[in-house]
Amino acid sequence: MDSVILYIVMALGISTVLNLFFKKIGVSSIIGYIITGTILVYAFDLRHLNDSHTLEHIGEFGIVFLMFTIGLEISLAKMGGMKKEIFLNGFLQVALTAIAVYGISHYLFEMDENPALIISLAFSLSSTAVVLSYLKSSKEIYTPYGQKATGILIFQDIAVIPILILLGFMTTQGEQSISEVLIDTATSAFVVIALLFVVGRRVMTWLLKFSASSEVDELFMGSVLFIVISASLLASYMGFSYSLGAFVAGMIIAETKYHHKVEVDIAPFKDILLGTFFIIVGMKIDVVFFINNIALIIGIFALVLVLKTIIIYLLLRLTSAHSTSLKTALALSQVGEFSFVIFAVAFSGNLLDKELGSLFVLVVIFSMMVTPFFISHINAIVDYFTHEEYMSLDVADFASRENHVIVCGYSVVGKFVTNQLDMLDAPYIVIDNSPKHVQEALDKGIEAYLGDMSKLAMLDALHAQSSSAVIVTLDNIDKKRAICEAVIKHTKDVNLIAKVTSLEHKNTLKELGVDIVVDGKIEVARVLVERMITCKLKT
């Protein structure tokens, strides 16, 4: 017991010191956690714990809470609107990547069929923990490429289930027919969905309402933890991953009025458990084996990165803009944490040689270590290669600019706003993340830029702190909320004005502290009555 406490204290101390240092030099905390795990293993000779199922389960709950928070962002209605991103793009990405990797492994490198199949399935997945952590913290989850990346990652997490079923079928060698496996899985899926959406929805709503009415934060937090863990255990008991149950629970709570409070309260648990997950990843690093095979590991990683980038880019380019497709492809080009699960099942079923498996586990770890370094620079990389004039801001032009109006969004309402500002002869600029809208504004001689107003860099570049007002005309409440949060956080005396389309959106922005919220329906009603008062009576 004393040893366990010592290991925990050392992990906390080492990770804190490393991440404080890494934060100063702009390196992701994920790297600090992974290095912490490696240091612990060699400092206390804990290599015998590398295959500990208990540690793996503890670490996996970092992914569980991450998927729960993603579920909070994606309600049933929103998921219905993301069918293309999740089921079409996601399926094609996993299938095409797996086919390509299998072909290279089996025919080019002459691997046996089973190892080639396992490697192809593992490498078709990307890192939910790394990518979604970055997208959420940077607010890029609301951008077009963030939405596409999120949709594909959701499908990948769902795809883990049939992949593990396939590996189980290969391990049992025919003890159960594939049709029986599929029927059992479909039945289990129906039971899980029925329990969570029919019974679980009512229980969750009642529990959150009851605990919130008590006005005791500990009770509310305990209720949330109970919901997350119960849903995860139910999904696991029925043969699915823990994270899938948590994701569904998050989607259910997203339909309630408590989802913002739940997301804020659960954040510390998610971050701590995610850190634990990456520490356990670091514990799997065999430094000697890594050094001896570093050239091969880097070569395999580079091959996978290029291959996945090309496949995802070409897939998305059919329906999306060049910059969006390339950003999504780069964001998903790495290998994910669920590959560990696939390799572990393959080891236990004697489907994969241990030395070969160790090599590919290190490729996954190396991928997860490298990804945080370049994922934060994806926008800069893509902007460099696109060479579109309106994508670059000359910051010097804004150095002395004051009292200008920033119009976020140049869709229908944005166009009317700029017309009114033109009539008042007020100085303004337009910012939009749609190349089409930006080009429309430029064609009319309007000063417009492509970018995301929820980014601190964009706020600084546009000198938002010196502007007279920021007008948000977007319809999407998530993007609108992200922009309002950023403006309120990074500016002090700027008037923030936002358009809303429903009472729920209005209350959401009021809670953030938005200065002026304009409800389109109320304004139309006011104008109608004004016109009625001023019109002449008919005789």
pTM across the whole model:
0.68
Asked if 188 and 123 count as a contact pair (C-beta separation under 8 A), the reply is no
Closest C-alpha to 365, from 67, 30, 75, 20: 30
The answer to whether 161 and 240 are in contact (CB under 8 A) is yes
SS (H, E, C) 34-65: HHHHHHHHHHCCCHHHCCCHHHHHHHHHHHHH
Residues in the chain: 539
Locate tokens 């101390």: which residue? 13
pLDDT value of residue 103: 93
Q: State residue 201's pLDDT score.
A: 80
Cβ density class 266-292: b for 16+ within 10 Å, e for less: beebbbebbbbbbbbbbbbbbeeebee
pLDDT in tens, 332-350: 999 987 887 788 778 767 7
What is residue 398's predicted lDDT score, i.e. its pLDDT? 58
- Taking each continuous run of H as one helix and of E as one strand, the counts in the chain are 26, 6
Contacts of 470 (CB under 8 A, 6+ apart): 405, 406, 408, 453, 464, 487, 491, 494, 495, 496, 497
Q: Tens digit of pLDDT per residue, the chain (539 long)?
A: 557 778 778 888 888 888 888 877 766 777 888 888 888 888 887 766 666 666 667 777 777 877 787 777 666 666 777 788 888 999 999 999 999 999 999 898 888 888 899 999 999 999 887 888 788 777 677 677 888 898 898 888 778 777 877 776 777 655 556 566 667 767 777 777 777 777 778 888 888 888 888 778 788 888 888 888 888 888 877 777 677 788 888 888 877 777 777 877 777 777 777 788 788 878 878 888 889 999 999 999 999 999 999 999 999 988 887 888 899 999 999 998 788 778 877 876 778 887 888 888 889 888 888 888 888 888 778 877 765 444 445 545 555 677 889 999 898 888 988 988 888 888 888 898 777 788 888 888 888 887 778 777 778 777 788 888 888 888 877 788 888 888 888 777 778 888 887 777 777 777 777 767 777 777 777 777 777 777 665 55
- Hey, CA dihedral for 464, 470, 476, 477, is it positive or negative? positive
Which of 453, 476, 462 has the alpha carbon at shortest distance from 402? 462
pLDDT of res. 390: 42
Residue 176 CA to residue 173 CA, distance in Å, equals 8
What does the alpha-carbon distance between residue 444 and residue 465 come to, in Å, rounded to a whole number?
Answer: 27
pLDDT score for 394: 52
pLDDT digits (tens, 9 = 90+) for 295-320: 999 999 999 999 999 999 999 988 88
Cβ atoms 280, 37 nearer than 8 A:
yes
